[in-house]
Amino acid sequence: MAAVSQSAMTAEPSVEKPKMTARKLDLFYSDNQALYEVNLDIPEQQVTALIGPSGCGKST
């Protein structure tokens, strides 16, 4: 798995008025933590895609 730089992980969202927002989202599968403090803004009227390998939880 590729590493993500600390600056990319702590960057502030750039969407002025998001349609959907998540802040400090943690996601668990039973006792296994999959996401750690994710911040995400989904802009209105733009295409947003989540990419990753097969079976990594994109649909979840």
Domain ranges for the chain: 13-43
What tens-digit pLDDT sequence spans the chain (60 residues)?
556 555 555 556 565 789 999 999 998 888 989 889 999 999 998 888 888 888 887 877
Residue in the block written with tokens 């702590």: 10
The H or E element that residue 2 is part of is none
What letter would DSSP give residue 44? T
What pLDDT is stored for residue 22 in this prediction? 93
Residue 26 three-state SS: strand
Flag whether the pTM goes above 0.75.
no
What pLDDT is stored for residue 50 in this prediction? 84
Angstrom distance (rounded) from CA 34 to CA 15: 25
